[in-house]
């Protein structure tokens, strides 16, 4: 047995978290709860669940903005911070918008291909950012611009879905209708997810970072 001073402390990982990390986990929790509310809606068809699912994603964005602000204010970063942020963003701005789209009617075979493509683009976008952040930063260590749109831009899709849901243009009344292509169905609305995914992984589109 190693000496007591060398043994791992209980909850040692949690003890290493700083305030910014806890806010990042708030981002992940918001996205996860949004997924749960989508499942509740599919089970019960209670519209309130969709409003909760929609409303939690702007809350995730607030947490996503606050964690960096708090880290700079307190001048405290943990070794896990960057990875926590990316993993939380995958849930809240990648998986959750795709599941919302599926929940509200994008359930054709080609729709699902589009939604999976969107999520994979979001994951790839975040991985590229983590790898290239150092080379894109200036002398102060601040990243000057984003390559491709940042993944929280998917909230524009969430906004569109929210408007359509409020107007009743979902499910069988889904805006732009549906097209049968070979063995599967495509709702043209799902192409917005394809466009968003392509914008995220673009190597030529540069968005100034505030």
H or E segment to which residue 179 belongs: strand 179-181
Is there a domain that residue 110 lies in? Answer: yes
| Nearby residues of 205 by Cβ (< 8 Å), 6 or more positions away | 147, 148, 149, 199
- Window from 25-29, 124-128, 204-208 with minimum mean pLDDT: 204-208
Residue range 48-70, pLDDT digits in tens = 999 999 999 999 999 988 877 77
pLDDT score, position 93? 96
Is there a domain that residue 93 lies in? Answer: yes
Residue range 94-128, pLDDT digits in tens = 999 999 999 999 999 999 999 999 999 999 999 88
Per-residue confidence band for 207, with pLDDT thresholds at 50, 70 and 90:
confident
Q: How far apart are CA 51 and CA 63, in angstroms?
A: 19
Q: How far apart are CA 70 and CA 130, in angstroms?
A: 20
More confident residue, 2 or 41: 41
Is there a domain that residue 2 lies in? Answer: no
Structural domain of 167 = 10-208
Is there a domain that residue 102 lies in? Answer: yes
Is there a domain that residue 199 lies in? Answer: yes
Average pLDDT in the chain: 85
Per-residue confidence band for 156, with pLDDT thresholds at 50, 70 and 90:
very high
**Greatest C-alpha distance within the chain:** 68
Is there a domain that residue 87 lies in? Answer: yes
Q: What's the CATH code of the domain at 26?
A: 1.20.120.1760
Which pair of structure tokens corresponds to residue 82? 């960057």
The answer to whether residues 57 and 34 touch, using CB atoms and an 8 Å cutoff, is yes
Cα separation of the two ends of the chain: 51
Per-residue confidence band for 2, with pLDDT thresholds at 50, 70 and 90:
low
Q: How far apart are CA 163 and CA 200, in angstroms?
A: 23
Is there a domain that residue 5 lies in? Answer: no
Number of domains present in the structure of the chain? 1
pLDDT score, position 146? 72
Is there a domain that residue 96 lies in? Answer: yes
């Amino acid at each position: 047995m190693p000496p007591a001073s060398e043994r791992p402390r209980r909850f040692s990982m949690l003890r290493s978290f700083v305030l910014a990390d806890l806010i990042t986990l708030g981002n992940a929790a918001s996205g996860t709860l949004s997924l749960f509310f989508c499942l509740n809606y599919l089970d019960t068809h209670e519209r309130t669940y969709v409003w909760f699912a929609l409303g939690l994603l702007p809350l995730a964005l607030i947490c996503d903005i606050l964690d960096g602000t708090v880290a700079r204010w307190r001048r405290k970063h943990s070794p896990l911070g960057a990875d926590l942020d990316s993993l939380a963003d995958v849930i809240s701005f990648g998986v959750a918008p795709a599941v919302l789209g599926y929940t509200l009617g994008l359930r054709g075979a080609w729709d699902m291909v589009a939604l999976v493509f969107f999520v994979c683009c979001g994951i790839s976008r975040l991985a590229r950012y983590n790898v290239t952040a150092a080379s894109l930063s200036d002398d102060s260590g601040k990243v000057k611009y984003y390559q491709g749109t940042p993944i929280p831009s998917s909230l524009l899709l969430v906004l569109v879905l929210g408007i359509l849901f409020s107007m009743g243009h979902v499910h069988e009344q889904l805006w732009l209708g549906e097209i049968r292509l070979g063995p599967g169905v495509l709702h043209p609305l799902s192409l917005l997810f394809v466009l968003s995914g392509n914008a995220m992984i673009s190597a030529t589109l540069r968005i100034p970072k505030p």
